[in-house]
Amino acid sequence: MNKNNDVFARTKLSHHTRLACAFSIMAMGPLALAQEQTDTEKHQNETEVLEEVQVTGHRASILSAQAAKRHAEQVMDAISATDIGALPDRSVSEALQRLPGIQLQRTNEARDPARLASEGGGVFVRGLSWVRTELNGRDIFSAEGGRTLGFEDVSADLLAGIEVYKNPTADQVEGGLGGTVNLRTRLPLEQNGRLLAFSGDYNYADLYDEGFVSGNGLYSDRWQLDGGEIGLLLSASIAEIGNRTDSIQSGRFEPNTEADGSTVYLPTGLGFRRIDWEQERNAYNGVFQWAPNDELTFTAQAFYAEANPVDLERAVGVNGPFGASLAPGMGDFHYDPSGRLQSGTLYDSSITFNTRYGEQESSIGDYSLRFEYAPTERWSVSGDLQHISSEATVLSMTAFTGVLPDSENDYPETTFSFSGSKPSLSISDQDRLMQQDQYWWGAAMDHLEDNEADSLAGRLDVEYTFDDNRFIKNIRFGGRITDKDTTTRQTGWNWSLLSNQYWLNNSPENTAFLHEAAQNQSELITFDEFMRGDVDVPTVGWFPTEQLVSSNTGAYKYFESMVANNGQFWGWAPLTPPEAYDLNPRGDNVSAGINEQNEKTRAIYVSLRFGDDSGDTLGLPFDGNFGMRFVETETTAYGRSVAGGIGDSCYIRDNASNITGIKPGDCANADAFVSAFLSELGDYKSFSNKYTNMLPSLNLRFMLQEELQLRFGLSRGMVRPAFSQTRPYTSLSFDFTGEQFNPDTVANGVQGTATGGAPYLKPTVADQFDTSLEWYFNDTGSLTFAAFYKDIHDYIALVTRVEEFSYGGQTFRFETTRQTNSASGQLQGFELAYQQFYDMLPSPFDGLGLQANFTYIDNKGGVNTAANPFEAAQQSGATDETLPIEGMSRTSYNLALMYEKYGVSARLAYNWRERYLLTTSAANIGRPVWFNDYGQLDGSVLYNATDNLKFGLQVTNILNSRSELEVLADGGPDARYSWTDTDRRIAFITRYSF
């Protein structure tokens, strides 16, 4: 039986240890445990008969996690699940946020803050998003993000535990500059005989007003055969979950000069939305182990996970008028002292209603073979071969309707208030809004993605133990090779009109009305109990149906019928692969259509473990490890080298801003020249890059006392650039001058401007220092302090330089903006953590326990990286040196009150993080957005009905916490612009094992 696994199940506590715990709680903390024991007490402790105590629930998980942290070779934290389905939270990301130094981002995508995630999005370790994910100590690779796995895609029910390594050792795979998160599943030869376990829950979302059923099962057994011992483990999780979010939002705030000369800040729009989200997430894990003898073990493992989230959004948009277009008598506004609009009434504002359908399908398969061989007590060797295959597809489809003006060409009035924590927005003339014949079909928009990724990795590790050396314990050395391929296919956001719009100043006879064209594809929607009735949005509207927008090509069939029926259909056409992916990069298409990448790595390392238990060398017992990792990376990116155009001033556009032609004369001549230029240089080819990194590491641990230890860590870490950053593409914009077209004319020393990808990027590297003081005053009690410092260089920043392109024997110079390794910064901070069960209190309070941690982070320098350098707003935000680093909260903390007695295992946990910059440029707003201070209270209670049966209750978001976002006004103050409520989720849980 595995020694660590034995710790998971039982611990032995003496009466003396309990007395020591009693002194600690009487002192309201662990400090009283520092008292030295007398010789008599020590003798009594040694001769006393130990009482064996069965440890379960939170106490067992804490005991296991604390043991892992205490005996680790570096600074780390852990979460343990002693039972199947026993992680403390419903998702991996929610469980991780409880650890010191880890912060959870509650959006699926930072640039899309209008749509918050139901289960939490990205995880930041010590303020950095550069977090490497592992599955059972091996690399993970995803078609969605490339280098990391979305934690929301993995079922927490199948995990035995999670380990977070905050500084590296030489034998660990490189790539986590913030830290490395290892998701650990179970192995049959680590189980104590046969195990058959089931867990199920009914998860009710109160705002969504619907419940979902999930279940998981595990079978594990081991058998003694003539050929040794074999073990088999099969586990599966089938989970359904649903969620609703209600939001009120405005657009970005822009300055406007009033008649009296004063400046006020007005939003570009108003609106509210409701998003219904559901997901089915299935995961399967199979492990076969064979140990022909005590020296050799083979392990074959297959892990497969799939997630299929679907969301349906219905949004109402109020489109002004604001700003300079606001004529006297059009509105009645009220401002705060800074000049920001707070409340008022719009007397004439056009209103749109849209239904957006989003569907994702993602899967990942991880298949591995591993052997461990120890032919002698001194030599051991292990190796594994791993193959990963991942796929992800995305469909987004939106259709818009709009309400007509009345006979006097007026729209309904809109009254709103953005003051305080209870915003409101109401629209007048509800009777009119309920009539289908008062609406027209406005526009449609679709978006597609089709991504895939594969990885093959192999490693070999050898260890030699020096039994006869007091100082050198062992030496490890090994190597690893990988070969990764990733292909990302992405379209832009294909928006266009369905019929005539009144703002085009055309007659209503050319408009497609809901009650005349595709009338069965719209439905009347009410927003009952919006934000639980706490916020006033008493409105209704005719929205496109879910059936209509669930397929972009299906929607086109309905809209196309408008032409036959009414002659009113305009120019929107659906995206259809594969042609849809052959696009130029732009603000809404980061991948330049198709982005193909290959990456090969080769790594070797050597690590020496040393120590002196006697304390003779340095006066204190100590141990540690020193190592060096050498990594070589070779990348190949495939794509078009250059593309571009003649400049917007030469295009002819229609009323919908669609390009319909080229202006004659000089523009036509310029277009012919540019086309020939690009046809010669814009061919499809490969771009290769190669770099090497030396990654030293040193970890020391000093045993100051039996329970008190001090750690030091020095290391260098690296994180490779994202595959989206190394796409090989350059977009040229020619700037011809003079009255006549002349390609030889150069303005300001350059022929034009350009924006491009960066296939020659290098990794971002950090020199890191870690230290921690750790006091383990009993098996489930500790007080720890950790400090860290990272000197980070080669941040990836947007830089503009002159580049030359040759054509027809001539050289042309362009001011080119690319992402470049150029910036540096320093990150420092500390973590404080405490946990203890107060066994010495009188019954029934002796079951109480407390976990608490606090994190502080300070950053200087560094830069933010534009997700898409082809968008002007992201260029501006990423180069704004006044902004902090995205995703980094200065402070965060966790508090958890626990109770473990009488078969009851209960926890009340509060998580809080300080305001932070979510993104330098939010989609559709083009401004920096902050996520305000946020705290959430969760709780759970489980009861052990028998030794085999547990049931209980888990509640998420007990206090109905509201998420609030702020947007940076153009030249003005930060303005609160978004308020979002989400579900309180209640899960009824049953676990059975035998």
For residue 747, what are its two tokens? 């303005």
What is the three-class DSSP state of 158? Answer: helix
User: What is the C-alpha separation between 133 and 153, in angstroms, rounded?
Assistant: 12
User: Is there a single domain that holds both residue 798 and residue 946?
Assistant: yes
User: Is there a single domain that holds both residue 24 and residue 89?
Assistant: no
Q: Express each pLDDT in 888-947 by its tens digit.
A: 999 999 999 999 999 999 999 999 999 999 988 888 788 899 999 999 999 999 999 998
User: Is there a single domain that holds both residue 171 and residue 49?
Assistant: no
**At 478, is the pLDDT very low, low, confident or very high (cuts 50, 70, 90)?**
very high
End residue of a domain, out of 54, 77, 101? 54
On the question of pLDDT at 52 being above 60, the answer is no
Average pLDDT taken over every residue of the chain: 85
Lowest mean pLDDT among 38-52, 171-185, 450-464, 535-549: 38-52
Higher pLDDT, 750 or 942: 942
**At 26, is the pLDDT very low, low, confident or very high (cuts 50, 70, 90)?**
very low
**At 56, is the pLDDT very low, low, confident or very high (cuts 50, 70, 90)?**
low
Lowest mean pLDDT among 205-219, 576-590, 807-821, 848-862: 576-590
Asked, for residue 10, whether it belongs to a domain, the answer is: no
User: Is there a single domain that holds both residue 233 and residue 90?
Assistant: yes
**Per-residue confidence (pLDDT) for residue 792, from 0 to 100:** 96
**Per-residue confidence (pLDDT) for residue 626, from 0 to 100:** 97
* Separation of CA 451 from chain center: 18
**Per-residue confidence (pLDDT) for residue 119, from 0 to 100:** 64
The 10 Å Cβ neighbour count of residue 590 is 23
> For the chain, how many structural domains are there in total?
2
For residue 742, what are its two tokens? 């002349």
Query: Strand 131-135 relative to strand 179-185: parallel, antiparallel, unpaired?
Result: parallel
Percent share of the chain, pLDDT over 70 = 88
User: Is there a single domain that holds both residue 151 and residue 41?
Assistant: no
User: What is the C-alpha separation between 482 and 140, in angstroms, rounded?
Assistant: 11
End residue of a domain, out of 54, 77, 100? 54
Q: What is the DSSP letter of 730?
A: E
User: Is there a single domain that holds both residue 36 and residue 168?
Assistant: no
User: Is there a single domain that holds both residue 396 and residue 365?
Assistant: yes
User: Is there a single domain that holds both residue 508 and residue 428?
Assistant: yes
Asked, for residue 409, whether it belongs to a domain, the answer is: yes
- The widest CA-to-CA distance across the chain, in whole angstroms, is 105
* Separation of CA 849 from chain center: 31
Lowest mean pLDDT among 265-269, 654-658, 857-861: 654-658
**Per-residue confidence (pLDDT) for residue 23, from 0 to 100:** 30
| Closest of 306, 278, 301 to residue 143, by C-alpha | 306
| Closest of 274, 211, 242 to residue 546, by C-alpha | 274
Q: How many helices (H) and strands (E) does the chain have?
A: 10, 49
On the question of pLDDT at 497 being above 90, the answer is no
- Torsion sign, CA atoms 939, 274, 114, 132: positive
Q: Residue 318 in contact with residue 341, Cβ under 8 Å? A: no
Distances in Å between the Cα of 962 and the Cα atoms of 210, 246, 329, 341, 422 are: 20, 10, 35, 22, 10
Asked, for residue 817, whether it belongs to a domain, the answer is: yes
Asked, for residue 742, whether it belongs to a domain, the answer is: no
**Per-residue confidence (pLDDT) for residue 581, from 0 to 100:** 83
Asked, for residue 294, whether it belongs to a domain, the answer is: yes
Q: What is the CATH number of the domain that holds 436?
A: 2.40.170.20
User: What is the C-alpha separation between 679 and 670, in angstroms, rounded?
Assistant: 14
**At 464, is the pLDDT very low, low, confident or very high (cuts 50, 70, 90)?**
very high
End residue of a domain, out of 6, 30, 54? 54
User: Is there a single domain that holds both residue 437 and residue 504?
Assistant: yes
Helix (H) or strand (E) holding 955: strand 949-956
User: Is there a single domain that holds both residue 860 and residue 916?
Assistant: yes
Q: Verify cis geometry, omega within 30 degrees of 0, for the bond prior to 321.
A: yes
User: Is there a single domain that holds both residue 141 and residue 24?
Assistant: no
**Per-residue confidence (pLDDT) for residue 568, from 0 to 100:** 67
Asked, for residue 735, whether it belongs to a domain, the answer is: no
Asked, for residue 754, whether it belongs to a domain, the answer is: no
Asked, for residue 699, whether it belongs to a domain, the answer is: yes
Its domain, for residue 35, covers 16-54
| Closest of 110, 133, 106, 132 to residue 120, by C-alpha | 106
Q: Where are the beta strands (DSSP E) in 1-158?
A: 10-13, 51-54, 76-80, 102-104, 123-125, 131-135, 138-139
Q: Residue 444 in contact with residue 399, Cβ under 8 Å? A: yes
**At 566, is the pLDDT very low, low, confident or very high (cuts 50, 70, 90)?**
low
User: Is there a single domain that holds both residue 559 and residue 435?
Assistant: yes
**At 806, is the pLDDT very low, low, confident or very high (cuts 50, 70, 90)?**
confident
**Per-residue confidence (pLDDT) for residue 46, from 0 to 100:** 36
User: What is the C-alpha separation between 875 and 48, in angstroms, rounded?
Assistant: 70
On the question of pLDDT at 4 being above 60, the answer is no
Lowest mean pLDDT among 91-100, 157-166, 246-255, 321-330: 321-330
**Per-residue confidence (pLDDT) for residue 330, from 0 to 100:** 55
* Separation of CA 685 from chain center: 32
Percent share of the chain, pLDDT over 90 = 49
User: What is the C-alpha separation between 556 and 577, in angstroms, rounded?
Assistant: 15
